[in-house]
Structure 1
Amino acid sequence: MKFLRFTSEAAARTAFADRLIEGEWPAYIGTAAVDVVGTIHHPTGNMLADDVPEMSALPGFHINLSDSVPELAEFEIDAPATPARVFF
């Protein structure tokens, strides 16, 4: 599994420009499945009203691939210790 991080959704769309289908994200690139995660939020440790945890956005726009796509390798990051989503 490959984890990609872009500076923004616009940057991700630019990197995927040749693969977008009528402006929509592809489900696959070759045999690699594409999972558009987007912005990831994590709890800050603070609680809001009604015991709702306060959330904070992590930097970047995230996309997971089930396998490597050489043209997107420059956006790969190390696997997070606790990924938000994974392929099974």
Structure 2
Amino acid sequence: MKFLRFTSEAAARAAFADHLIEGEWPAYIGTAAVDVVGTIHRPTGKLLADDAPEMAALDGFHINLSDSVPGLAEFEIDPPTTPARVFFGAT
């Protein structure tokens, strides 16, 4: 599994330009599945007035791939310790 991070959705769309289908994200690039995660939010440790956890956005726009895709490897990051999402059966 490959984790990709871009500076913004616009940067991700530019990197995926050859793979977009009528402006939409592809489900697959070849045999690699594509999971557009987007902006990831994590709890800050503080509670809001309604006792809901305060959330803060992490830097970047995130996309997961089930395998490497030529031309996108430069956006791969080290696997996070606690990923927001993974593909079923991914290790």
Partner of 2:61: 61
Q: Distance in 1 between matches of 2:50 and 2:38?
A: 27
Partner of 1:78: 78
Between 1:34-43 and 1:45-54, the stretch displaced more is 45-54
Q: Percent identity?
A: 88
Structure 1: gaps of 5 or more residues: none
- Paired positions, count: 88
Q: Does 1:25 align with 2:3?
A: no
In the superposition, the TM-score normalised over structure 1's length comes to 0.98
Post-superposition offset of 1:25: 0.1
* The structure with more helix, counted as a fraction of residues: 1
Q: Distance in 2 between matches of 1:75 and 1:19?
A: 15
Structure 2: gaps of 5 or more residues: none
Partner of 1:48: 48
Post-superposition offset of 1:80: 0.1
Post-superposition offset of 1:49: 1.8
Q: Distance in 1 between matches of 2:29 and 2:5?
A: 17
SS state of the match for residue 50, structure 1?
coil
In the superposition, the TM-score normalised over structure 2's length comes to 0.95
CA RMSD across the alignment:
0.5
Q: Distance in 1 between matches of 2:83 and 2:62?
A: 11
SS state of the match for residue 42, structure 2?
strand
Q: Report the residue type matching 1:45 in the other structure.
A: G
SS state of the match for residue 43, structure 2?
strand
Post-superposition offset of 1:28: 0.2
Deviations 1:35-68 (A, max 9, x none): 0000000000010022100000000000000001
SS state of the match for residue 72, structure 2?
helix
